[in-house]
Chains A and B, each alone.
Chain A
Amino acid sequence: MSDANSRFEVVVVGAGPAGLAAAAAAAESGRRTLVLDATPWLGGQIWRGREAKGGSGSAKRWLARLQATDAVVARQTTVVAAPRPGVLLAESPEGPREIGWETLILTIGARELFLPFPGWTLPGVVGIGGLQVLVKGGWPLDGKRIVIAGSGPLLFAAGAEYRAAGADVVLIAEQTDLGKLARFGLSLPRLAPRKITQAAQYQASLLGVPYRPGCWAVSAQGADRLEGVTLRSSRRTWTERCDVLATGFGFLPNLELPRLFGCRTANGAAVVDDRQESSQAGIFIAGEPTGIGGEGRALVEGLIAGFSAAGRLERAGRLEKKRRRAMAFSRAMDRAFALREEVRNLASPETLICRCEDVARRDLEKFGDWRAAKLHTRCGMGPCQGRICGGAVEKLYGWDAASNRPPVFPVQIGTLRDPEPGSRGASK
């Protein structure tokens, strides 16, 4: 590979909203910029599919803004390690790839939080965001009965999309009580007038779908796949027959890469300054890894990171007010949709917590921390590397399930051992 394709002034890891904004800002500022993403798509999980359709709304604007720059794009490129200072090792369809950087921007997004409950391992139980992404990839929902359970306004957004894909949305169960929701609604207009109209639009398109605040899924039933879900509210417990249960309990920042680089984290998020710079000089972090805040916050943080990485601190500083507003909004959301104790603690002793290694809750209870539990039950030792069960045990026991050992993602051994492209065939 030519040097021109392996060394960049600014390398942006992750091409979701924050990454697109960061790459655009850095490239517009004249920096030789590379943006890479593990998927074949630009736009991250939230804008998946928009690129192929020519985009719409803000996705269209941001994709166009990036395309107008000289930024280089690398798809299906997964960063797995940092073999030397200033160098990333990535897996790509053409084989392993070493990429040199002077400034690094980590915009690696978030994953969904999954809370274990009896039956959650049955095929048919999915994350709400995950199902949205699958639908964009052609997953059939026509005529399927879907129950949506969890917390937050994304339940509506997901319900609207499922419905547009032909699904029969049986119920949206919002674990937060009505009183709390009403208070949140009152606090909204001052913070972000557009958000409430969005929510109203979703609700309108879902007209006729029962929406129940103060209600949550307690278990899923089925033999080889999901057949029904049992729900509970303060008044009753009942079962709904369904093909799909989509759960949405919020998101967890992806922190494996920040940790690999030694960036400081606190309270489950990466610590950054006003310019989005992490505790490691030259490494910027923007979007969900600094705290779950959604698209709006990701875009403004991405711009700040891109301008800062290009040395345009004054330009970045002009976005400060917008950033503060976005942060205030996400904090209000966190408070309004805080998870209730019953929902955190639904797993029975037999419920599997680690789905890779099939480790049940009762096997974990004997241990006082993540490391001891992991060592003796193999919880978190499977291919997901604790990305699913780690979030669950944090919510169940308050354990810190952090890990920072390479590879940060399962990787072909050939990628680790051989950095020279062309010395082995392209991998399927």
Chain B
Amino acid sequence: MAEIVSLTINGRPVRVPSGTVVAAALALAGESRFRRSVAGHPRGPLCGMGVCFECSVTIDGRPHCRSCQTLCAEGMEVRTDE
């Protein structure tokens, strides 16, 4: 299971072990602000279980994806701050 997955986070290449969730990859890449709230405040994961939507990011061009519920995949493009 020591396979490595390559993806990009805000355009920067990141390599993580397979089985890593996108939220964790963001944290590994040093991102703490996953999105801005409707009033512009920084937000990051809260519930970790797919309920709160605070960890939403854009994955492969699709906005509002819950990064805590998505596994990293080869070639995935992730953007914060939708």
Contact = CB atoms under 8 A, between A and B. Distances in A.
Interface in A379-424: 382-384, 387-388, 410
Contact of A134 (B16, B19, B23): B23
B44 A124 contact: yes
B47 A112 contact: yes
Interface string B28-64: 1000111001110111111111111110100110101
Most buried by B among A122, A126, A134, A358: A134
B32 A355 contact: no
Interface stretch (A37-45, A196-204, A262-270, A313-321): A37-45
A388 B46 contact: yes
B71 A384 contact: no
Contacts of B21: 134, 137-139
B37 A355 contact: yes
B14 to A, nearest CB: 12
Contact of B68 (A134, A356, A384, A410): A134
B56 A387 contact: no
B6 interface: no
Contact of A383 (B17, B19, B64): B64
B10 interface: no
Contact of A355 (B17, B24, B43, B68): B43
A387 B52 contact: yes
Chain B, interface SS category: loop
A114 interface: yes
B51 to A, nearest CB: 5
Given A383-B53, A388-B47, A388-B52, A52 B19 contact: yes
A111 B49 contact: yes
Contacts of B39: 358
Contacts of A224: 32-33, 42
B2 interface: no
A358 B38 CA distance: 7
A137 B47 contact: no
Nearest to A224: B42
Contacts of B27: 134, 139-140
Contact of B48 (A122, A127, A358, A382): A127
B59 A40 contact: no
B68 A114 contact: no
A382 B53 contact: yes
A72 to B, nearest CB: 22
Interface in A27-75: 38-40, 45, 52
Query: B17, B47, B56 — which one has the most chain A CB atoms within 10 A of its CB?
Result: B47
A123 B42 contact: yes
B50 A38 contact: yes
Given A123-B42, A134-B21, A45 B33 contact: no
Interface in B56-82: 56, 59-60, 62, 64, 68-69, 71
Contacts of B20: 137-138
A140 B37 contact: no
B51 A134 contact: no
Contacts of A219: none
Contact of A129 (B48, B52, B62): B48
A121 B41 contact: yes
A384 B37 CA distance: 13
A126 B55 CA distance: 11
Contacts of B37: 121, 355, 358
Given A127-B48, A357-B38, 8 more contacts: A111-B49, A112-B47, A121-B43, A123-B32, A133-B48, A137-B24, A355-B46, A383-B64
Interface of A: 38-40, 45, 52, 111-112, 114, 121-127, 129-134, 137-140, 224-225, 352, 355-358, 382-384, 387-388, 410, 428
15 contacts: A39-B50, A112-B49, A126-B45, A126-B46, A127-B46, A127-B47, A129-B48, A137-B23, A140-B27, A140-B28, A225-B42, A382-B38, A388-B52, A428-B59, A428-B62
